[in-house]
Amino acid sequence: MADVVERRLVAGVDSSTQSCKVTVRDAATGAVVQEGRASHPDGTSVDPRHWWDALGSAIADAGGFDDVAAVAIAGQQHGMVALDADGRVVRDALLWNDVRSADAAAQMVEELGREAWVARTGLVPVASFTGTKLRWLRDAEPDNAARVAAVALPHDWLSWRLRGYGPADESPLGPDLDALATDGSDASGTGYWDPVRREYDAELFEQALGRASRVAGVGTPDADLVVVPRIVAPDEAMGTLASDVDLPGGAVARAGLVVGPGLGDNAGAALGLGLGPGDVAVSLGTSGTVFGVTDTEVTDPSGTVAGFADGTGSRLPIVTTLNAARVLEVVGGLLAVDHGELGELALQAPAGSDGLVLVPYFVGERTPNRPDATASLLGMTPQTTDRAHLARAAVEGMLCALADGLAAVEDTGVTVDRLLLIGGAARNEAVRAVAAQVFGRDVSIPEPGEYVAAGAARQAAWVLGGTLPSWEVAATVVPADPHPEVLEQYRAAAR
């Protein structure tokens, strides 16, 4: 192990909805040594094998792991990965953005009440969460539900496979379900884990799937009990590879590789950005999130803010929307322009787009909880119905929805001393300028980077060295340019 430690290279993985990104970094400084990437298929229901294949391809694209001492995987949250007793996937995983479990979520809320859910899990069930997907599986596919021997999340399953576990004919260590492990940040998004006690709520799991559970590695194996992954501390290794593991695409994970606990994608971004109390980030991926780090318990009976755990043992209150950069893609496609050209058009129209408002619920919405909603365009006149005004309305609609999320986070008592804007859309000059207007405060823009993967790599360095390293993140600041009328007219339209 001494030789492995001396290499001092660590890797972080971001297995997101759209792709798998791998970053190899210097453990002490965080300097990027190599990066790799591979695509995931589209859809809200996906065979996890595609994630495994993409992980191998992304590792190979990053030059392999021969010199890497430790790795951690961050992944999209909430996805339901159901395994049978042979370690095979029972059905395609339902991803966070699959809303077929909306009715199941409503039933579960009605059964216990919002206050009870918040007290026991820090959240109110919506279609995104794992528990509601298990309820859907119970009711819609009872034969598949009966086959379930274990339930994992995307990053849990990938870490398990990377460590050499899986179906007997596909892995060196076979289907040892008691080797499944996860971390608190990802477990906190299931709907059956308590972020205060940091323990599973077995009654809520059984309420969801209709079957009792046991924690991996705890108690006697029983075919009637469904295994849930054990919780690994943020600085604890899931395990160390005892032998080489062959990966898809020709990559190899070498014996001696330390595998960290991994974390949910938003917790990974927070760790990669170095967020602390007083810091709140707005992330503009396909979906949007507003999240901050706090040491105090967060409760919101309305369900708007979910009281997740972060990747260090603190709390990560978060608001999530289904529509963020997706809004720019849809409107850009309509106008036959790319993101950059859309931004140039948007800056040709005034703040507020002369009253043109886009309520951007193109794929329904999670916050507010309107899974069956559609997008609306209001305030159309001969003056406002042109390319510039529509482009401006798209940017403003995307950011106003997240400004409501920021207000909800503040309403829980979270202090916002520094606001950061991240994600691919944050590179757009129009998005930056409008953000300073809509949020009405200075907006810090970290240099472009894969911050979820960076957070996973930072965790890997923590596990390897025993201390969470400090990695510098450069940023520019866009000064506040308050235009409260933009948010006011959006809120009037979105009621």
Of 8, 29, 14, the residue nearest 62 (C-alpha):
14
Q: Dig out the tokens for 136 from the structure.
A: 């859907």
Which residues are catalytic, by number?
265
Amino acid at 239: G
Q: How far apart are CA 255 and CA 65, in angstroms?
A: 11
Q: How far apart are CA 451 and CA 188, in angstroms?
A: 20
Cβ atoms 204, 191 nearer than 8 A: yes
Q: Report CA-CA distances (Å) from 127 to 105, 139, 281, 370, 483.
A: 6, 14, 24, 10, 34
DSSP state for residue 294 in the 8-state scheme: B
Phi, psi of 69, deg, nearest 5 = -90, -30
Of 46, 200, 215, the residue nearest 131 (C-alpha):
200
Cβ atoms 21, 27 nearer than 8 A: no
Of 177, 176, 280, 294, the residue nearest 228 (C-alpha):
177
